[in-house]
Amino acid sequence: MRRRTASDTIARALGIGAVTVLMATLVAGVGRVVAEREAEKESRLGPIPERGRGSRAERPVAVEAGVFRMKRSDLAVPWEQPLSPAAEPRRLALYRALRAYPGAPPRIPHGLTADEFRLTLCHSCHVRGGYVARFGKYAPLTPHPEYRDCLSCHVPDGSKVGIGFPNPANPAVCSQCHPAPDVRPREFAPIDWRPAPWPGIGQRALAEAPPLIPHDLESRNNCLACHGGPGAVQEIRTSHPERANCLQCHVRAPLEAGEFRRP
């Protein structure tokens, strides 16, 4: 084997140095090309306004605020956020008055235009929420936005809708929900039916324990839709909407405590 000399070591070091310089030059060239392309793009788009402290650039556009919320916790409105002074808060008494019994879907407390009735445009207000100047209130959020045919469960007042209801004497109308052999309307017999009492709020297993959930969770898997934000009922509005995993602390009430019973 030939013994390595000093000249061989020097030649090898020079070769390694040349390769290193070549790689550095190549990386610098690529970086320069990328920077030039970014500068060209910025020149086409125009200068980006500086974000000064307290400037308008720091504040989002009002109509775009919250458009890109991706998590359930992002749907919550901070407790301290000021509400519109013209908005009337939702109260527990109205919440219960709109439901025939505990757990029933609420009726629609406002009028519907012809297009709203035909096209079911409820999601335009009740999925994203926000202040509705038409009614002077914040729209409550639906806990089940995946359901599209809202009028199947939520019934408007027939005297307030923009168009009348379909002819009830048409069997095709009734058979949409009642697939019976004979679906023609008949005389309604009076019944002695009384709604069940509402469960009390603030039920706790211990004095300092989190409140129990006095209702079932079917179609109510998004707690913040009813308990967070300005559209929530004032008496049951959460003080910590940033905690999105509500079931970590709040659990269903025992059957004997949460079951709806008639007096």
| Residue-level pLDDT at 183 | 52
User: What integer pLDDT is reported at residue 20 of this predicted model?
Assistant: 87
Q: Record the pTM.
A: 0.52
What backbone torsions phi and psi does residue 72 show, to the nearest 5 degrees? -60, -35
Block means of pLDDT (10 residues each) for the chain, 263 residues, are 68 81 85 77 50 44 47 46 62 87 84 77 85 84 85 69 52 63 55 71 84 83 83 87 85 66 47
Q: How far apart are CA 78 and CA 84, in angstroms?
A: 14
- 78: number of CA atoms within 13 Å, CB side? 4
What pLDDT, on the 0 to 100 scale, is given for residue 67? 47
Q: In the chain, what are the domain boundaries?
A: 70-165+199-263
In the chain, DSSP finds a helix count (H) and a strand count (E) of 7, 2
Q: Give residue 66's region: left, alpha or beta (phi > 0; psi -120 to 50).
A: left
Instruction: Report the pLDDT value the prediction gives residue 69, as an integer from 0 to 100.
Output: 45
Nearest to 211 by CA among 224, 202, 221: 202
Residue 204 near residue 210 (C-beta atoms within 8 A): yes
